[in-house]
Amino acid sequence: MKRYGRRGEITMFQFFKKKKGVEVNAVVKGIIKNLSEVQDHVFSQGLAGRGIAIVPEEGTFKAPCDGTLTAVFPTGHAFGITDKDGIEYLIHIGIDTVNLGGEGFDCLIKQGESVKKGDVLVKVDLSILKEKGLYTDTMVLVSTPEEQCALKFQKKQGDVVTPEDVIFSCEKK
């Protein structure tokens, strides 16, 4: 049990200390897009989680925060990361890219590994996705339920540069 004062009470300093939560950065350089504009109903309706989409301008995708890779799809198109507070994030590169069977994806990490914000996860040849007629929209989602974590957007539109731009923060409730 965490104690703040001599008798376990919360001190005035701790009471007014503002919680920051975990800052989640862009995973790729590109342009932010609202999830409702994504051409897949699972993402556009928020069924896979809350967050944003980025239309990538390059093929190097990086970790949005420090955490553990709790899911790495063998095709390299999607990753699950759990941060220090137990909040889960899903990074999904492209629409229907699972159908490529890993073609064009050079996955550089393994499930169970720890990553730091900005670590390269995968390199993707975006021209292959475009040749196959697939959307390159990349979703950065919080899959932890809303009742368990608050999501605060820092950037909802415009260009993003990874890993410098914070797109949202998550705070465990």
Active site residues: 92
Phi-psi category of 94—alpha, beta or left, where left has phi over 0 and alpha has psi -120 to 50? Answer: left
User: And the tokens for 79?
Assistant: 């990753």
Sign of the CA dihedral running 90, 94, 97, 101: negative
* 112/71 Cα distance (integer angstroms): 8
Phi/psi at 67 (5° precision): 170, -165
Phi/psi at 51 (5° precision): 160, -145
